[in-house]
Structure 1
Amino acid sequence: MRVPAPRDLPALPYAHRLEPFAGEIEREGAYEWLHFDGSVFEDVQGGSSQFSESAFSSAAFHRGRYRRSRFDDVWMHTVRMVGTDLAETTWLDSECTAGVFAGTEIHVSEMHRTVFHQCKFDSVNLRGSTLKGATISPVQLLDLAPALARHVGLTVKGT
């Protein structure tokens, strides 16, 4: 499977429809054709929200809860998710470029046709998540090798 190159905002098929986001993210909210540019969300309770054909540029999410939210055809660029609860979320046809996910809960989530380009994952919990066709670099594989070996029951001994 070939990973598509990252897109710029104007290359999105829905870019001409995007409106600037003004307001707050609310629980069970529906957000379509919105551009979250430079937005900062602190301790937001936005669970069960749906984001469709929207873009996030230089947005920051700190300690919020978005459990059971849905991200359909969402584009993210230089987004920071720190201590954010994204557990049980669904991601479809989305992409994130140059993002940082630190201390983020994404367990028991589903990601289909979702791509992360040049993102940093630090203490991210993906336990029980479904990643269809996950692609990582050789360097990332070497970093993950000990955890993957433990997960499949391999014991690696030195010579």
Structure 2
Amino acid sequence: MVRNGRQQSVKAARRPELRLPDLAPWEGRELEPDGDYDGLEFADLDLAGQEGVGARFMDCAVRRCALDEAGLAKARILDSVLEGVRGVGTDLSGASLRDVELVDARLGGVQLHGAGLERVVVRGGKIDYLNLRKARLRDVVFEGCVLVEPDFGGAVLERVEFRECALRGVDFSGVRMADVDLREAAVLEIARGVDALAGAVISPAQLFDLAPALASQLGVRVVP
């Protein structure tokens, strides 16, 4: 990024530094609203449809669990790993994720609107129709994953990186960005919100690909 003739650096996202303790297997039957889970491993479980609204997960690992329609609104997930989770319609609206790794997830229609993500890495996997409307993302890295029609409408993105991931049909409408690095996105398809890219950094090749949308936004006609 060049400003006033000088090269401006892009602030890198701070990644989580997870050091999970020895974990005990969770032996409960169902999640509980406002439950408190500390130092536990949830492995190969069917948590579909369970209600953990407002629950707190601290130093936990959730591995290969089904999360279809799980109710985790306003949950707090701290210093934890979610690995190989799958499901459709998981509700994490208004949740808080801090120092979290989400690895090889297969999710669809995840509701994270109004959520807060800080020092989060999303690595590998595929997430369809991710709803991050009006969420706040700070120090978040999307790495080697596929995001199909993610919705960032009205969100705030600060120090967010997209590395070797595919953004297909992304909605950036009304997004506020600061130090958002899109240069290494393997695919960058912006369906809406190209006018909200102030504060983002893109590559020359991406600028070429986005030129028609940018010209349209500015009301510029390109005539051969």
Structure in which a larger fraction of residues adopt strand: 2
What SS does the corresponding residue of 2:122 show, helix, strand or coil?
A: strand
Shift of the 144–72 alpha-carbon distance from structure 1 to 2, 3 Å rule, reads: farther
Question: Normalising by structure 2, what TM-score?
Answer: 0.61
Aligned to 2:119: 113
CA-CA distance at 1:143 after TM superposition: 3.3
1:145 pairs with 187, 190, 211, which one? 190
CA-CA distance at 1:134 after TM superposition: 1.8
Aligned to 1:79: 85
CA-CA distance at 1:137 after TM superposition: 2.6
Instruction: Establish whether residue 53 from structure 1 lines up as the match of residue 79 from structure 2.
Output: no
Aligned to 2:136: 130
Structure with max Cα Rg: 2
Paired residue total: 153
- Select between 39-48 and 137-146 the one with higher mean Cα deviation: 137-146
Question: Normalising by structure 1, what TM-score?
Answer: 0.84
CA distance in structure 1 between the partners assigned to 2:15 and 2:161 by the alignment: 11
CA-CA distance at 1:144 after TM superposition: 4.3
CA distance in structure 2 between the partners assigned to 1:123 and 1:150 by the alignment: 21
CA-CA distance at 1:104 after TM superposition: 0.9
Structure in which a larger fraction of residues adopt helix: 1
CA distance in structure 2 between the partners assigned to 1:101 and 1:43 by the alignment: 15
CA-CA distance at 1:89 after TM superposition: 0.2
CA distance in structure 2 between the partners assigned to 1:100 and 1:37 by the alignment: 16
* Percent pairwise identity: 23
Runs (5+) with no aligned partner, structure 1: none
- Select between 134-143 and 62-71 the one with higher mean Cα deviation: 134-143
Instruction: Establish whether residue 20 from structure 1 lines up as the match of residue 52 from structure 2.
Output: no
Q: Partner letter of residue 58 of structure 2?
A: S
What SS does the corresponding residue of 2:107 show, helix, strand or coil?
A: strand
Aligned to 1:40: 46
CA distance in structure 1 between the partners assigned to 2:195 and 2:49 by the alignment: 34
Query: Does structure 1 conserve the Cα–Cα contact (< 8 Å) formed by 2:15 and 2:119?
Result: no
CA-CA distance at 1:155 after TM superposition: 5.0
CA distance in structure 2 between the partners assigned to 1:76 and 1:94 by the alignment: 8
Shift of the 57–152 alpha-carbon distance from structure 1 to 2, 3 Å rule, reads: same
Shift of the 145–105 alpha-carbon distance from structure 1 to 2, 3 Å rule, reads: same
CA distance in structure 2 between the partners assigned to 1:155 and 1:115 by the alignment: 30
CA distance in structure 2 between the partners assigned to 1:149 and 1:36 by the alignment: 40
Instruction: Establish whether residue 65 from structure 1 lines up as the match of residue 65 from structure 2.
Output: no
Query: Does structure 1 conserve the Cα–Cα contact (< 8 Å) formed by 2:13 and 2:160?
Result: no
Bigger RCO of structures 1 and 2 (CA < 8 A, at least 6 apart) = 1
Q: Which runs of 4+ in 1 moved over 6 A?
A: none
What SS does the corresponding residue of 1:73 show, helix, strand or coil?
A: strand
Shift of the 88–144 alpha-carbon distance from structure 1 to 2, 3 Å rule, reads: farther
Shift of the 156–122 alpha-carbon distance from structure 1 to 2, 3 Å rule, reads: farther
Query: Does structure 2 conserve the Cα–Cα contact (< 8 Å) formed by 1:96 and 1:119?
Result: no
